[in-house]
Structures are given as structure tokens and as C-alpha cells.
Amino acid sequence: AQSVTQLGSHVSVSEGALVLLRCNYSSSVPPYLFWYVQYPNQGLQLLLKYTSAATLVKGINGFEAEFKKSETSFHLTKPSAHMSDAAEYFCAVSDYGSSNTGKLIFGQGTTLQVKP
Amino acid sequence: EADIYQTPRYLVIGTGKKITLECSQTMGHDKMYWYQQDPGMELHLIHYSYGVNSTEKGDLSSESTVSRIRTEHFPLTLESARPSHTSQYLCASSSQVSAGNTIYFGEGSWLTVV
């Protein structure tokens, strides 16, 4: 069964600093991995996804993530944080390879705070 | 931009009332999902559907029910709401085309039962 662990429920960075949000996964099949962002009182918006093509995935708003099979990780990064990046970030793995429902298994979420 | 809509966005109701949360998508997606999210917590799948007349229970047990009579419509119903049902409910959809399909989410319905 697939699972996702996000290390750190809260991350605080200064505006202009590097953003690093950590995600580790567990999967018995080649995983499909996703990062979503959730702004207050809104639904989830896809930032990027890994589907077994390039290991470095670029997403929207300057975010990118690198799939590292040896470390079972899919950490999200952004070189320079903006105030508008403050939100909740969720890492997720799809169960498509195992049960074909296509449902997502989510991590606990990481709240990103950006200080001026 | 995803075309998936949820109504109502916010609802406060009394215990024992029946409520239906509406979800519609205009993308022609076969798969639809309902996730439940308590404040500050992760999302848990409570229902999903492969297509018309197909509904399945998700990973998290829920007293709610769903129906899928039309491809674009996937409403969720609580026959008798209780305070423990207070949560955010997120509807989502995806296509059958390929593995690693993007799942698109609606903006969510915040339910408060008093």
C-alpha cells in the first residue's frame, strides 16, 4: 500500500529565501507523485506531478520537485519565496499502479509561512 | 483552470437536518471523488465513482451517501447531520485517459453542524 509522509507540519522562511518542503513516499509499485497547494478557504490546486518521465519536475509559480528513488523522496523547492506562497502544501501519491482507482493518498500537509 | 464546481461553499445547519452537497464538472471526466478534510489535517477519501451508476466507499468510513446518475454530477448527501460531520468536503474529478492523471479539485464545501 502507498503512503506519504511530509516532514514538518510548519515551515517558516523569510521572503526571498529558499523554500524546501519535504515529502517521502512508500510504494510497492512505481509511484505517481503530486504536490498540491491550498490557499485559505479554497480547494487544492496542482503545483506539479511526477509520472515516471524526467526526475526533475517543474511546476507553476516557480516550484519544482525532484524524484529520488534511492531516497524515496519527492521534495518541493523554490529558490526565492514570495509572500503569496504562504499556504498549505500537500504531497500525494496515486494508487493507480496498484488498484487503478486513481485516488490520491495525501500526506499530513505542511503550512508554509513567509516572513517579510 | 479546472471546471469543477461545488455548492454551497459554506453551510451552517442544525442537527438532524438532511443536506446535499452538490458537485458538478464540465470536463467530461469519468472518475469523481469526495474527500473530507478537517481543519489543519490531511484529506481522506470517503467516496469515489468510476462512471455513471458506479459508486464506491473510500478509505475513511462516512455516514454520507453519493449518487452518480449523470457523468457531470456527483452529489453527496447526509440524511441526518450531526456535529461530528462538521468538516470541509472537497469534490474532485479525473479522466480515464492515462496513468498519473491529474485530479482536479473544486473549491470545497465547508459544513458546520450546530
Digit-by-digit pLDDT tens for chain B (114 residues) are 568 999 999 999 999 999 999 999 998 898 999 999 988 788 899 999 989 999 999 888 889 999 999 999 999 999 999 999 999 999 999 886 555 678 899 999 999 999
Task: Please list, residue by residue across B82-98, b when 16 or more beta carbons sit within 10 angstroms of its beta carbon and e when fewer do.
Answer: eeebbbbbbbbbbeeee
- Please, which residues have CB within 8 angstroms of residue A89's CB and are 6 or more apart in sequence? A6, A21, A35, A36, A37, A38, A47, A76, A109, A110, A111, A112
Residue A27 confidence class, pLDDT cut points 50, 70, 90 = confident
Q: Which residue, chain included where needed, has cell 457531470? A: B72
Using the Cβ of A59 and the Cβ atoms of chain B, whether some distance falls under 8 Å is answered with no
Q: Is B89 on the interface with A (CB under 8 A)?
A: no
Q: Which of residues 75-94 of A touch B (CB under 8 A)?
A: 90, 94
Distance from CA of B8 to the nearest CA of A (A): 13
Q: A24-33: b or e for each residue (b if 16 or more CB lie within 10 Å)?
A: bbebeeebbb
State the residue for C-alpha cell 516550484. Answer: A63
One-letter identity of residue B80: S
